[in-house]
Amino acid sequence: MARAVVTVPPRARRGEIVEIKTLAQHPMETGFRRTQTGELIPRDIIRTFTCSYNGTEVFRVELHPAVAANPLIAFTTVATESGALTFQWVGDNGYTVTEIAPLKVE
């Protein structure tokens, strides 16, 4: 299972700064840990997170192994027009999760 949870207010006034919280399900395996018998566990991380607002990228994060498992990314965006916020997490081994949240601007 690979899921993500995004928390976005359902509606906002035009020009209002809205707070967004995201959680993605991922172990963020660093590539530095070893098993009990000494074998290195290969790296498996989310590499990028993007947030697009009606198709325009408004926030991007590059992640490294120092980001904790099940990454939390919280940030803000200006409510410009009604539409959809698209969140995407892309990582090693073909990991891609996309979440879409509607935002009504009044």
Nearest to 71 by CA among 14, 40, 28: 28
* Among the listed residues 11, 44, 75, 86, the single contact to other proteins using CB under 8 A: 75
Examine residue 103 and tell whether it contacts other proteins (CB under 8 A): no
The residue among 62 and 106 lying less far from other proteins, judged by its C-beta, is 62
Interface of this chain with other proteins, residues 52 to 71, rule: CB under 8 A = 53, 56, 58-71
CB of 3 within 8 A of CB of 98?
no
Nearest to 44 by CA among 96, 94, 92, 97: 92
CA–CA separation, 57 and 53 (whole Å): 6
Nearest-approach distance from CB 53 to other proteins, in angstroms? 7
- What mask, x for binding other proteins by CB under 8 A, covers residues 27 to 56? xx-x-xxxxxxx--x-----------x--x
Find the distance separating the first CA and the last CA of the chain, reported in whole Å: 36
Nearest to 77 by CA among 29, 22, 16: 16
Residues that bind other proteins (CB under 8 A): 1, 3, 5, 7, 17-18, 21, 23, 25, 27-28, 30, 32-38, 41, 53, 56, 58-78, 80
